[in-house]
Amino acid sequence: MNNVVVQIPDRWQRFANSRLLVVVTALTCLSLSFAPVFLFQLAKAGVPYTDPRVIFCFASIVLLPLIYLRLAAVCIKQLRAPHDG
């Protein structure tokens, strides 16, 4: 087994150590679990696509996980970078 040290920018380290990460995690869980159900209920009610509730649901489903994907991309870039030894 190898030990790996991943160096991430200070901005991401502050984010990972802050309470904001807990908020983003909670919002991501809600957006991925309840937003599709809420969208289904809105569709059954005949709400148009331009309704702010529909736009907010789609935005939360798409945009909140991008935070984690960006952090993962930083870590994967470090892991794939050529290293000594």
Spans of all domains in the chain: 11-80
The identity of residue 1, as a single letter, is: M
* pLDDT digits 0-9 by tens, 30-75: 888 899 999 999 999 999 999 999 999 999 888 888 888 888 888 8
> pLDDT value at position 83?
67
Mean pLDDT of 24-34: 85
Cα(51)–Cα(55) distance, integer angstroms: 6
